[in-house]
C-alpha cells in the first residue's frame, strides 16, 4: 500500500465476516469503482478452506483488475496458495517476525494492535508494513477499550510505520482522525446498508 494522496488518508476496505458469493462481489465492485481504495481485506469468519478459497478467487479478480492489494485475515498459509498480496495478523506483534520471514519482503504484513502503543512499536520494529489500532468508536464488543485520538496524534508525530484506524467509525471520528492516520479500515460501517458505495463516499467526503 502506497500513499497516492499524501494529504488525505486512504481507504482500507474490510469485507463482512460472512457474505454470499452470488451478490457480494457486485457490491464490492460498486465500492471500488466509487472511490479510490488502497487495499481490501478478506475477513471471513468461516474456517471452511474451500469457501475461503472461492471468496478469495472472486475478490482477487476484482481487486487485481483495479490494481488494488488484497490481503487475508490471519490465514498465513493461504496467501501464496491463493495468489494474495499479504496477510493481516490479529496477534499484535507476536508473529510478525516469523510471518515476514515466511512470506518474504514483497508480501504485505500488517497487524492489529488494539490500543497498545507498545505492541504497535514492536510490530513496526519487527517488519510490519502497517499497524492497525481500534476500535476507535464505541462498541459493545470487546472490553470497551478504545484507541483514542491521542494515540494516533502521537503515532503520526513519532512513528513512520503507516497506521490504520478501524472499528466503529462514523463521520465525526473520521474528521477528527483524518490528519493523524494513513488509512481508515472501513467494513461493517457500510455493509449493513442498501448502498455501501454511497456510505463509503460519505466517509471519503468526511476525510476532506
| CA nearest neighbour of 9 among 30, 33, 38 | 38
| CA nearest neighbour of 103 among 87, 120, 119, 123 | 87
Model-level pTM? 0.95
Cis peptide bond prior to 144, omega within 30° of 0: no
Exposure string of 77-107, with b = 16+ CB inside 10 Å and e = fewer, is ebbeebebbbbbbeebbebbbebbeebeeeb
Q: What is the pLDDT of residue 160?
A: 97
Q: What is the pLDDT of residue 1?
A: 53
Q: What is the pLDDT of residue 3?
A: 47
The Cα-based distances of 181 to 40, 47, 130, 131 in angstroms read 17, 32, 11, 11
Which domains are assigned to the chain?
A: 10-206 (3.20.20.70)
Q: What is the pLDDT of residue 97?
A: 97
Q: What is the pLDDT of residue 5?
A: 45
Q: What is the pLDDT of residue 179?
A: 97
Q: Where are the alpha helices (DSSP H) in 2-116?
A: 24-32, 49-65, 78-81, 96-103
- Which contiguous run of DSSP H or E holds residue 138? none
Task: Spell out, as residue ranges, where the chain has pLDDT lower than 50.
Answer: 3-5
pLDDT tens across 57-115, in order?
A: 999 999 999 999 999 999 999 999 999 999 999 999 999 999 999 999 999 999 999 99
How far apart CA 194 and CA 191 sit, in angstroms, is: 8
Exposure string of 113-137, with b = 16+ CB inside 10 Å and e = fewer, is bbbbbebbbbbbebebbbbbbbbbb
Amino acid at each position: 500500500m502506497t500513499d497516492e494522496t499524501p494529504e488525505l488518508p486512504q481507504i482500507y476496505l474490510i469485507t463482512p465476516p460472512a457474505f454470499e458469493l452470488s451478490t457480494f462481489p457486485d457490491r464490492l465492485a460498486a465500492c471500488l469503482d466509487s472511490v479510490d481504495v488502497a487495499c481490501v481485506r478478506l475477513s471471513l469468519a468461516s474456517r471452511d478452506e474451500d469457501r475461503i478459497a472461492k471468496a478469495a478467487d472472486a475478490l482477487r479478480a476484482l481487486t487485481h483488475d483495479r490494481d488494488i492489494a488484497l490481503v487475508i485475515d490471519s490465514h498465513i498459509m493461504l496467501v501464496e496458495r491463493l495468489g494474495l498480496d499479504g496477510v493481516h495478523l490479529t496477534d499484535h506483534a507476536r508473529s510478525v517476525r516469523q510471518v515476514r520471514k515466511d512470506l518474504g519482503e514483497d508480501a504485505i504484513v500488517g497487524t492489529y494492535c488494539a490500543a497498545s502503543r507498545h505492541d504497535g512499536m514492536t510490530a513496526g520494529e519487527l517488519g510490519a508494513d502497517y499497524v492497525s489500532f481500534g476500535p476507535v468508536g464505541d462498541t459493545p464488543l470487546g472490553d470497551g477499550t478504545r484507541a483514542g485520538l491521542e494515540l494516533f496524534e502521537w503515532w503520526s508525530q513519532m512513528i513512520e510505520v503507516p497506521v490504520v484506524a478501524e472499528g466503529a467509525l462514523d463521520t465525526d471520528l473520521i474528521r477528527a482522525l483524518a490528519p493523524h492516520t494513513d488509512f481508515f479500515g472501513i467494513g461493517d460501517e457500510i455493509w449493513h446498508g442498501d448502498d455501501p458505495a454511497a456510505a463509503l463516499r460519505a466517509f471519503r467526503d468526511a476525510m476532506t
